Structure 1
Amino acid sequence: MATTDSDSATASQRLDKDTREKLITVVRHTILLTWSFIVLFPLYWLASMSLKPPGTANSLPPDWIFLPTVYNYIQLIQDSGFVAAFANSLVMVSASVVLVLLIGVPAAYVLSRYDIPMERDVLVWILSSRMLPPIAVVLPFFIIFRELNLFDTRVGMVLMYVSINLSLVVWVMKAFFDGIPETLEEAARVDGATQFQGFRKVVLPAAKPGIFSVAIISFIFAWIELLFGLVLTSFEAVPVTLFVYSFIGSRSIEWGMLAAASTAMIVPVVIFLIAVNKYLAAGLSFGVVIKE
């Protein structure tokens, strides 16, 4: 009889534990779903606004049920100014990401692997370029660009985007290189590889999550930049953010066109995220390989 009571108590405890675990799982999933809804609802609102007929995009109360139309997107495609601005941003931002990686990744490797005089001061100096608010440096850049004939040029905007993201790339990639054991490179050199071959064939593949992470972050920061485009361009190198801003007038706002242009701006970022998604999760951990 005592054994039976003991078995019943054990089964009851096991049942209570299973019930608690299921309850915790339900609560966790409910919280995640609620948070996902909160985060994604603005995107749904933006996309639905872009698909509403003209004149009803900002109606109050909002029309939750409506017949979607691509009128706003057709108007965007037919607008040569938007197409040119979108192409400008794609070219300038993509070029800036490639250039900032070509400069920042080797610089971070050198800072990680070699004894640099006053290395800490150098790192702080690099980081300090990111501390100043953009409004504080946009006027000096305007004067420099005018003197160097870089005003309203794609080359000038590429250099501007590189200057914005370089400190981020150097700091993040240095953390990744610090986490990669130097013994891997030493083993490569024992097998006959040069210093550069060890960097290219051993270190870079190991740091690939970090490289893709800083690439997507640099792409986003450059893609959404508005102030420098507003001051440093006028016609030829206008970025898409500045063109989208033009839908906000002093007396009225073209809500449908603004929503359609904003939705179109999100597409390249989403495509880039999908392409590098398998590296992004590991990259955001900042140094998944621990130095032994």
Structure 2
Amino acid sequence: MVKGLAHVGNFIIAIALIVVSIYPVAWLIVVSLQSDSSAYQSPTNWIFVPQFGTYGKLFADPSFLASLANSVQLAVIATALCVLFGAMGGYALSRYKVPGATGLTFMFALSRLVPTFAIVVPTFYIYRQLNLLDTMAGLVLALVAFQVPLSALIMYRIFGGIPQSLDEAARIDGAGFLRILWQVILPVARPGLAASAVVTFVLIWNEFLFVLVLAGNQVVTIPVTIAGFQTDKQVLWSSIAATSVISLIPILLLIAFAQRHLLSGLGMGAVRE
């Protein structure tokens, strides 16, 4: 009897969590398929005739297409660099006696506690001196520098769960650092790489403040575009919702593509040799 009630309670809690998680996405989709006048209604009208005019306007707008292309380019390049540097840094910290390794990993973790607004203004002045403002290269450099410590920490934990006997066997065969990393360790750590890539991609894709301060004129991304739909005269809820729905698609595709490795990757490194 008690176990039955526990199962029913767990089921109810699971359903409640699913509803709470799905409701904001469902609301975005519903509002994006309504006209601007209907989108302002409160409470939200859930029974309506879908209208795709907002999506048509967005995809016919060259500035929106440019911001979408900028977001994809920025996220793909910065994520690839973060995973690359994070893998190399995490492997070095997990396999070699690096002087001050403990303090270095602590600083990596501490850097995640620093809010973006605390470093974006000094970065702005540095970029102004280097003529890197409003450039894709400047944004990539800033976001990689800000996100690579997280990637390194994830990969450090992942590599810590991979037996070092694999390295020793490859080293006996004459393999060097890079060959061991690329041909032996990374294939084993593929789930961890997927987890690191997904987390980093989502953070970079949703980055707003760095783009707003360091670019925002020529290099505009989706989060900045969404903010532009809110003016002092009106808030274009249908455009905000439609752009938000479109911005979810790359993340969903990435998660679907990496799903096979994602769950196992998040659990790697829990047990050390």
Out of 250, 253, 262, the position equivalent to 2:232 is: 250
Q: Does 1:154 align with 2:136?
A: yes
Shift of 1:20: 4.8
Instruction: Note the alpha carbon deviations across 1:198-236, whole angstroms, 9 max, x for none.
Output: 222221122111111111111111111111111111322
What are the equivalent positions in structure 2 for 1:38-77 lying under 5 Å apart?
A: 38-77=20-59
Post-superposition offset of 1:283: 1.8
1:291 is aligned to: 272
Which of 106, 109, 112 is residue 130 of structure 1 equivalent to? 112
Is residue 134–residue 215 contact of structure 2 (8 Å, CA) maintained in 1? Answer: yes
Alpha-carbon distance change, 121 to 291 in structure 1, aligned in 2, over 3 angstroms: closer
1:270 is aligned to 2:252: yes
Label 1:183 to 1:31 Cα distance change in 2 as closer, same or farther (>3 A).
same
Q: Deviations over 1:93-120 (max 9, x none)?
A: 1000011112111011111111111212
Q: How does 1:70-109 map to 2 (within 5 A)?
A: 70-109=52-91
Cα RMSD, aligned residues only: 1.6
Alpha carbons 1:209, 1:280 under 8 Å: kept: yes
Match of 1:69, SS?
Answer: coil
Does 1:171 pair with 2:153? Answer: yes
**Contact preservation (8 Å) 1:51, 1:72:** yes
The residue number in structure 1 matching 2:196 is 214
Identify the residue that residue 12 of structure 1 maps to in structure 2. Answer: none
**2:205 aligned with 1:223, yes or no?**
yes
- Higher gyration radius (CA): 1
Identical-pair percentage: 33
Q: State yes or no: 1:144 paired with 2:126.
A: yes
> For the Cα contact (< 8 Å) 1:172–1:286, is it kept in 2?
no
Total equivalences in the alignment: 273
Give the distance between the partners of 2:43 and 2:6, measured in 1 at CA: 38
Q: Structure 2 length normalisation: TM-score?
A: 0.94
How far is the alpha carbon of 1:193 from its aligned partner?
3.8
Q: Residue 253 of structure 2 aligns to which amino acid in structure 1? A: I
State how far apart, in whole Å, the 1-side matches of 2:177 and 2:123 are: 38
Which letter does structure 1 place at the counterpart of 2:28? L
Match of 2:171 in 1: 189
Find the residue that maps to 1:220 and give its secondary structure. helix
Shift of 1:189: 3.2
1:21 offset after TM fit, Å?
Answer: 4.3
How far is 1:190 from its partner?
A: 3.6
Distance in structure 2 (CA, Å) of the matches to 1:88 and 1:228: 14
Q: CA deviation at 1:184?
A: 1.7
Q: Is the 8 A contact 1:93 1:161 kept in 2?
A: no
Partners of 2:226 and 2:240 within 8 A in 1: yes
User: Which amino acid counterpart does residue 131 of structure 2 have in structure 1?
Assistant: N
